Chains A and B, each alone.
Chain A
Amino acid sequence: MNRMRRAGFFKSPIWFLVPVIIYYAAFWIRPTISVIIESFTDKSGVFSFANYVRLFSQKSMRTAFLNTILFTLGSAILQFILAFALALWLNKKFRFSNLVLFITLIPMAFPPAAVGILWKTGLYRFGWINSFLCSLGLMNPANPVDWMSFRNLYAVILLIIIDTWTVLPSVMIILLAGLQNFNKEFEEAGWVFGANKFQTLKDIVFPIMKPTIITAMILRMIAAVQVWLIAVMIFGYNVVPFLVERIAYNVDVITFAKYARKDAYTISVIVAAIVLISVSIYLRVSGEKQKGGEIA
């Protein structure tokens, strides 16, 4: 009896996970722990909150914190609404739905660096956005708007729009996959039993789609918190600060400054904490009841 159990233990599939666990121990847990330790120690290696205190006394850091939260919330909400609407629409299978799907997916393929250039060429005073507005007669060619001079909230909104342009398809595609696996009779039962389209959506489609929605939104939020490249490519460093932009600034621009490394580590911990907290809040809010099983 005892022997059999032991044999079962050695045959356990867990052993196949050992390489992954070792990999993560070496290349994730170890650096993560050292980052956390670094963020909580001063130059001489003594435990202190000095790094956090120093960072949050900087105005740019506070702005970065605020901007990151604004950006994450704004882009998550906007992208969810648009992506869901688009997914519902594309799921209807009209005549050109495949072509439309193809077109909407194109921006997803843009690497962040390409997105940065694309919009940079559009946003400067003589860029294509103004050219287009002029050709429509919506703008006076003699007096074009300099979009890149936008600051603060306007800049964040602009970045949310640009971000939405590129990541909307990747959110949409997950929701669309969910909708395609969704038993249409659930929805039809709603209509037949007296619900209008909105009620069906709210009371039936959303709740049943919840696991898919949660998946899409969590992936989205994790990525949104880490925004930096488009902000830097369009506005440059220090103009619209974000948390990860601060990290990049510390390692890319002021590499040899006194606290550059410490600051980068500390901000990383802050970012990870924000991601963890917001994901768990989201999971708590969205998953009040857990239902077992799924009906084919």
Chain B
Amino acid sequence: MSYLKLNSLKKTYPNGVTAVKDIDLEIEKGEFVVILGPSGCGKTTTLRMLAGLEEVTNGSIILNGRDITHLPPRQRDISMIFQSYAVWPHMTVAENIAYPLKLRKMDKHTIHSKVQEVARICNILDYLNRYPAQLSGGQRQRVAVARALAVDSKLSLMDEPLSNLDAKLRTSVRTFLKEIHRNTGATTIFVTHDQAEAMALADRIVVMNEGKIEQVGSTREIYNQCGSLFTAQFMGTPPANIQKVSLISNQERLIANDKNAETQFSLDLGNQSAFPGIDRYIGEEIFLAIRPENINISEPKGINETSIEIVEPQGAYTILVTKVFGSEWKIMLEGDIDIRIGQKVSLIIDPGKIMLFDAQSKKRVNFS
């Protein structure tokens, strides 16, 4: 039996809005799980139900074999880092860290040494006697982490803790959080809308959309084997190039056409043998998704020909924008590419990296 189990968890607000519909999730001890999704997808509501800050409409939450569905937050043995940090402004840093320990009736000596310990880990020893108002955002964030760390909780919850930090600080705190997790091995659930954060931190990512789980998997799985069209659209910067196409077979080659576009563009996807079981989709409409980094270019060769419209050099890589099926597709190439606007190129696509999604269910079409 897994450490934390969410059984068809559901949340309907009194005004009738259903924020979370049937969430089933199992999490192992020590895992760092990131719930990722756009705003309003129900990820924060799910986390708040885990914390006990939101009443559960239906379903149950089992933590370490104990049903905590209807327990008040204080009886759940959890810790949490809030979006606004919620570092109490009327207490010093030391008091902030010590307060939860006092509530657990620890003796003064233990509390003191515990505060010192976590303050050292979080590098806030110098600020212990300051008030939060005298600290910067990043320092307050560390206090929030220290406070959560001090209580040896069964479950550590983090509600977009990095969203109020500036970009540079965000990466460093990210590394810091990962380091802490490696050292403590605390089971952690981290909610964010930032995929870079999710991919960097997670052992497993849970992608949520419209109150439902779209996909659960490792960073690699989520990124390269998107289970649904939504995940493909959501993950990646820039996101995958997506087009609704109809497939035809032409001399053992799989060709994608856009029925509605006036462009008459057709994309050669490669040998049909690379797509076992594709037969039933021939002549059908299907969603085609290709990540920008999975497209390469060559001198014009007569197939998949298009012209470059915009070049965005990024230093380590270059993003090219071109028109495919009349819409803008992005191509990401390593290094600084010397190319001019208007230049004709042929697109080279690795058939193994092509993702196809059913037009109705929007789920991934699996071959083999």
Contact = CB atoms under 8 A, between A and B. Distances in A.
B88 A291 contact: no
A185 B79 contact: no
Contacts of A188: 51, 53, 73, 80, 82, 86
A293 interface: yes
B91 to A, nearest CB: 8
A194 B74 contact: yes
A183 B84 contact: yes
A195 interface: yes
Interface size bucket, B side?
A: 20 to 34
Given A193-B151, A194-B151, A196-B74, A293 B103 contact: no
Contacts of A207: 88, 90
A192 B74 contact: yes
Contacts of B72: 191, 196
Contact of A292 (B14, B80, B134): B134
Given A185-B83, A295-B87, A192 B73 contact: yes
Contacts, number: 86
Contact of A183 (B52, B79, B86, B104): B86
Interface string B151-164: 10000010000000
B100 interface: yes
Interface residues of A, number: 26
Contacts of B52: 191-192
B147 interface: yes
A291 B103 contact: no
A293 B79 contact: no
Given A186-B86, A199-B103, A208-B89, A192 B131 contact: no
A258 interface: no
A190 B84 CA distance: 14
Interface in B87-135: 87-90, 99-100, 103-104, 131-134
24 contacts: A95-B14, A183-B86, A185-B82, A188-B73, A188-B82, A188-B86, A189-B82, A191-B72, A192-B53, A192-B73, A192-B80, A192-B157, A193-B103, A193-B147, A194-B74, A194-B100, A194-B104, A195-B100, A196-B72, A208-B88, A208-B90, A291-B89, A293-B133, A295-B87
Interface of B: 14, 51-53, 72-74, 78-80, 82-90, 99-100, 103-104, 131-134, 140, 147, 151, 157
Given A189-B82, A196-B72, A210-B90, 9 more contacts: A185-B86, A188-B80, A189-B88, A191-B74, A193-B99, A194-B104, A204-B88, A207-B90, A208-B90
